[in-house]
Structure 1
Amino acid sequence: MKFANAQEVISYLYSLPHLHPKNDLSFIKKVLAELGNPQDKVKTIHITGTNGKGSTSYYLSNLLKKAGQKTGLFVSPYVYRFNERIQLNNQDISDDDLVKAANIVQAACDRLEKFSLVTFEYEVAIAFVYFAQKKCDYAVIEVGIGGEHDKTNVITPEVSVITTIGLDHEKIIGPTIQDIAREKSGIIKNHRSVVLGNVPQNVLLILLEKAKAENASVYQLGKDFDVSVAKEINYDDPNHSLTFKLRPKVEAFDIAVAFKAFSLLKLNLSTAEIEQAINQTTIPGRYQILQKKPLIILDGAHNIQAMTNLLNVVHAIAKQKQGHVYALVTMMKDKDLEQVFDLFDKQDQVLLTTLSYPRVAKENDFPIDVQRRYNYEGNYQTGFTELKKKLNDNDILLVTGSFYLVSAILNWKGKK
């Protein structure tokens, strides 16, 4: 089989199964070996975490690019188009390069008879082939789900990063937060540094024990480096004192973790260049402001931890402006729906919606109590328009619960 264009590649990827019967790395390792192990030809930084791993990946890749490094970036999900998943120096992979890399991967699969990859494995293989072809100096690799069994966990990174740990994907890597921590600790590698972000105390020991077993140096937020938020973001460690433009507190943690990981690579950047690289970073679909007055915010928060952080920020802004919060929300039906909706204030005006995507919750997938509490509009464009009409200048419209919804609104209303 040979792909003729990018749409053929993308259609084929989405026709593949999502999971193997056996949750291990044997399939991806076999195809990478057939490809000459391209993942070993590029220096990597590996990033996991329940929340913040995407933002951290973007901040880190911007710092590397600023330091003159040819920088690959592998992230998920995409917001505007599939090609965002694989980037080189902040540019999405071109359709031509996507087709070339996919044909190389497919030829390797064809040589391995009766052999097929799942969607994410195929994407990982394409990314590593592309980064090796382009002779990247570094590639920032964001984990898909978890860590130890994630299909990206075929690298020996220069630095590993664990941003934070909370409840998400419990059915796959849970059920407890301790199980999730053990799974994420799987990216800590022998004699390689690990940077830990805002990790809850009840699982911190699991990560520290894994690091000790691997003889990995640990750099911990709040102990080895710190960040605070006032009128701006202030970062401090024994060698650096930096100031960044104000962003939500959760973003401040991501900035701190990204910079700490970058500093361990011993690349030269002036204080001004570091601050500029961070301040100029935009992260698609994460606290993205579509309009300033009235304020419209898009954020793909889709679990308890992310939604708690987001609503803390949004409610604080609404209180300051003496305005109301309106929210257009859908979620995947396998998420903690009831607990997430309990995070909204009673006075928030929430409108439920859906998308034509199999995993997205339809009206009857929302808990009965949530259905009773909030109205439902099956067409997200109609829902968005209805809420927008209700806004006064001091009000906030929040679009959240799923990157798919954020993506749909941005592709309809926003321009890249």
Structure 2
Amino acid sequence: MARSLAAWLDYLEQLHPVGIDMGLERVADVARRMQLLDHPIAPRVVTVAGTNGKGSTLAMMTAVAAAHGMRVGTYTSPHLVRYNERVTLLGNEASDEQLVAGFEQVEAARCRSPEISLTYFEAGTLCALWCLAQARLDIVFLEVGLGGRLDAVNIIDADVAIVTTIALDHANFLGTDLAQIGREKAGVFRSGRPAVLGSQCLPGSVADTARKLGAPLYELGSTFERSSVESELWQWQGENPDGQRLTLYNLPDPGLPLDNAATALQALMLAGCDLNAETTRQALGKVVLSGRMQWIGQWCLDVGHNPHAAAYLAKRLGAQANGRLWCVIGMLDDKDIEGVVAHLIPVVTDWICVGLSGPRGRSAQSLAVEIERQGGFVHGCAATPVLGAEGLKGKLMPEDRVLATGFFTVGELLAIDLPQATCAKPV
């Protein structure tokens, strides 16, 4: 009897003795059995690595490329609500049937003698690559998961590789040395193929790695740049592989970091997308990225879960200072809770701490201890994100805003109707 998608995902979670097992040998061996490395999965492939900004950069590349008539596919992880979100083909999530067919191909290949064990993420990556290769696309965007050099996505030789930002995250696996983290992320670069650096604050190890590999460097602030013209408009200037310059004026604010928008445009041009000014404007004006500065009524949902992301949120939300700013926060135990709270404390007035399930989940009460230690006012604690959100019913004023942060927190809240202001006076 054929497995359903849900049954496949349950099976794959139990397939390997550990959840994260860094290295490319096993996944590359199965990819070769699937013939995924015999030919490019698409005429153009762009890989996006980095600590923060991968999702927004990829979303803007997708929107602009599709607007220019390109057949686009993407692979991202993790998902917020449905596993199908991880693979998109021509703007649509992969169907259960497509993913099941992919997992069947992966399983058949890995079970050949000698059998090869794969992690959940490795199997999912191979399934995604198989689905993308079947779709006859013009361009594919691949988001690197953890790290870069040893991430399963890195079995693919991308035509253009991006590193967005470097900051501390996943310290248990990547350590706390930013230079070393930069070298790991820069492991997605390839000799003779463009390397795009999407931040002016990257450790020098990122550019050094590209130079040692002989990868042409395109750096934000030098090779390409962006500048604000008015509060809601900006301009971009970039360079094609032949050194020709292009400037696009009066671009709309996509509601996502402009450094990432500039990086997306530069990478697209290097991947062969002939950017048209008006088409680019229209595409950037319509970008929607679930869980990244996503507004639903009074709620801002953002998956940011490290200090770098929290600093960006504080800057954006602190500039809109009317009413109270609530924060519904739930985090995993291996994240830098202290650093995240430190950046948000100056702008958040009321905290709702929520617990997360699973062995890595941190309790609401322990979050509250850290927030109160830093001088924050904890309005309440709840066992789950949904219960935390429901606790705000009848408490919000029309001028209040609510930030919900953390990947699993946002994922659970996207599945419910979020409470909005109903009361005439504060509670």
Identity %: 28
Partner of 1:330: 330
Counterpart CA distance in 2 for 1:144 and 1:403 is 14
Equivalent position of 1:391 in the other structure: 396
Of 269-278 and 52-61, more deviation after overlay is shown by 269-278
1:239 corresponds to: 246
Report the AA paired with residue 328 of structure 1: V
- Tell me, yes or no, if structure 1 residue 163 matches structure 2 residue 164: yes
State the secondary structure of the residue aligned to 1:50. coil
What corresponds to 1:41 in structure 2? 41
Tell me the alpha carbon deviations over residues 311-350 of structure 1, each in whole angstroms, 9 at most, x when there is no partner: 11111112xxx32211100011100111211222356111
How do residues 13-412 of structure 1 correspond to structure 2 at under 5 angstroms? 13-17=12-16, 19=18, 23-38=22-37, 40-42=40-42, 43-200=44-201, 203=203, 205-229=204-228, 230-237=230-237, 238-248=245-255, 251-291=257-297, 295-318=298-321, 322-345=322-345, 348-363=349-364, 365-366=366-367, 368-370=369-371, 373=376, 374=378, 375-400=380-405, 402-412=406-416
Indicate the SS of the match to 1:181: helix
Q: Distance in 2 between matches of 1:20 and 1:327?
A: 30
> Secondary structure at 1:390's aligned position in 2?
coil
Task: Report the more deviating stretch, 98-107 or 63-72.
Answer: 63-72
TM-score normalised by length of structure 2: 0.89
Q: Describe the superposition over 1:205-256 as per-residue Cα deviations: whole angstroms up to 9, x where unpaired.
A: 21221111111111111112222344224132131223333345x6211111
Structure 2 spans left out of the alignment, 5+ residues: 238-244, 419-427
Give me the whole-angstrom Cα distance separating, in 2, the residues matched to 1:51 and 1:304: 10
Q: 1:125 is paired with a residue of what secondary structure?
A: helix
In structure 2, the CA distance between the partners of 1:93 and 1:335, relative to structure 1 (3 Å rule), is same
Which amino acid is the alignment partner of residue 16 of structure 1? L
* Unmatched 5+ stretches in structure 1: none
By how many angstroms is 1:371 displaced? 5.8
- The answer to whether the 8 Å contact 2:110/2:116 transfers is yes
State how many pairs are aligned.
403
Distance 2:301 2:113 in 1: 44
Letter in 2 for 1:163: T
Q: 1:62 to 1:369 in 2, by over 3 A?
A: closer
Residue 268 of structure 1, CA deviation: 3.0
Amino acid at match of 1:68: G
- 2-structure distance, mates of 1:365, 1:379: 14
Q: Over aligned residues, Cα RMSD in angstroms?
A: 2.1
Equivalent residue letter for 1:313: R
CA shift in 2, pair 1:27/1:275, >3 Å: same
Aligned in 2, Cα 1:361/1:21: closer, same or farther, shift over 3 Å?
closer
Q: TM-score under structure 1 normalisation?
A: 0.91
C-alpha distance in 1 between matches for 2:416 and 2:157: 40
- Tell me the distance in 1 between the aligned counterparts of 2:96 and 2:20: 32
CA drift at 1:46: 0.5
Structure with greater helix percent:
1
Asked if structure 2 preserves the Cα contact closer than 8 Å seen for 1:3 and 1:9, the reply is no
